[in-house]
Amino acid sequence: MKVLGIETSCDETAAAVVEDGCQIISNVVASQIDIHARYGGIVPEVASRQHILTIIPVVKQAMAGISWPDINGIAVTFGPGLAGSLLVGVNVAKALALAKNLPLTSVNHLEAHIYANWLDSSSSGEKSEVRFPCLCLIVSGGHSDLVLMEGHGQFEKVGRTRDDAAGEAFDKAARILGLGYPGGPAIERAASSGTPCLPLPRAWLKDSHDFSFSGLKTALWHLVHRGGISVADAAASFQLAVVDVLVTKTIEAAKQLKVEQILLSGGVAANKALTQHFLANSPIPVLIPPPHLCTDNAAMVAACGYYHFQAGNTSGYDLDVVPSLSLG
Ligand code: KG4
Ligand code: ZN
């Protein structure tokens, strides 16, 4: 079964065709980063206008060499995200479903991030073997959630951030250090030539699986404004503080919940320090999508959509966006 996935929740316009929920036939991502970088962050009105300009060429590129009768369904992200951005993808998906007489399914962006772990990522085309129950760490620009997954479509949120999301913390820290936008890759680059020698706090919140990163951000701000520190050392110290908390708390939760595997997803899972710490410290197997499938893309939406279609979950033409949608 071939599914066309469409993703426009934030600042990437993306379309992809995935077969049987795992095999990527095409995967096109048009990033708006260059456009938003000059403002130091995403400007929602600019994002939605850019999606309108880009979505049709992106879908055409994803469909190049594939004929419409070979497509069996359309999956689209309907939340969470920016309302004006989500509307572009949802309306294009509805129009295509109507015009091509195809079933439509609506996908939660956070659920889609998790399904990046089902996509074939090795060049040998081997299928990732996900085993339930698993614990999913979703670390993106807007979310830091720990979600227990008992089966397809069965999610229970067991932890979340109480303030900043992990990606948001990276973006804010990069701004404090004058490293530009997006912050995650900029911090990772700067950290590679520094040492994590500066004292920065970790919020352990021992009685729960929740996270908190705003105190760390404030501590970094004070450190920088006191002066005399190297940006590379500050970036390395900040990165290690975030990684330390994410890795330690996720492994602790995975042991308590007795899961088979840990699944990483979301833009921050593209961070090498994070993935290396997980692989070095976890006694439980950890699945990590390749970096380009951790950040926003439509292949993960199509993979998730495949399992929705398998379960008979389809949407009507009255489908609307839900900007504040959560998972579990
Ligand atoms: O999943 P994503 O592409 O979009 C959302 O759904 O939010 O995540 C974007 C976030 C941004 O905050 C970005 O700074 C962060 O992921 N990110 C990284 C890295 N690459 C992207 N954070 C740390 N290290 C990276 N290499
Ligand atoms: Zn995302």
User: pLDDT tens digit string along 18-48?
Assistant: 999 999 999 999 999 899 988 888 999 999 9
Query: Residues with Cβ within 5 Å of ion ligand 2?
Result: 140, 296
Confidence of residue 126 (pLDDT cuts 50, 70, 90): low
- In a domain, residue 324? The reply is no
Residue 322, domain member (yes or no): no
Among protein residues, the one with the nearest Cα to ligand 1's atom 21 is 267
Measured from the CA of 239, which atom of ligand 1 is nearest? 23
List residues bridging with 90 in a β-sheet. none
Q: Is the pLDDT assigned to residue 123 strictly greater than 80?
A: no
Please tell me the distance between residue 247's alpha carbon and the centre of ligand 2 in angstroms.
20
What is the average per-residue pLDDT within 169-197?
96
Domain total for the chain? 2
Same domain, 267 and 145: yes
Q: Which domain holds residue 111?
A: 2-121+293-310
Structure confidence at residue 129 as a pLDDT band (50, 70, 90): confident
- Pocket test of ligand 1: the residue of 9, 145, 170 to mutate, having most ligand atoms within 8 Å of its CB, is 170
Do the domain assignments include residue 218?
Answer: yes
- Looking at the fold, whether 81 and 223 belong to one and the same domain comes out as no
The answer to whether the CB of 105 is under 6 A from ligand 1 is no
List all residues 6 or more positions away from 128 whose beta carbon is below 8 Å from its beta carbon.
22, 117, 118, 119, 120, 121, 287
Residues 276 and 140 in one domain: yes
Residues 116 and 214 in one domain: no
Is 106 a domain residue? yes
Is there a domain that residue 325 lies in? no
Q: Which two tokens stand for residue 307?
A: 């399992």
CB 44 within 8 A of CB 124: no
**Tens digits of residue pLDDT in 209-259:** 999 999 999 999 999 999 999 999 999 999 999 999 999 999 999 999 999
Does ligand 1 come within 6 angstroms of the Cβ of 271?
yes
- CATH assignment of the domain containing 303: 3.30.420.40
How far does the centroid of ligand 1 lie from the alpha carbon of residue 71, in Å?
31
Handedness of CA 8, 302, 145, 234 (dihedral sign): negative
48 within some domain: yes
| Judgement on whether residues 281 and 139 belong to the same structural domain of the protein | yes
Same domain? For 113 and 212 the reply is no
Distance, CA 50 to ligand 1 centroid (Å)? Answer: 20
- Is the CB of 108 inside a 6 Å radius of any atom of ligand 1? no
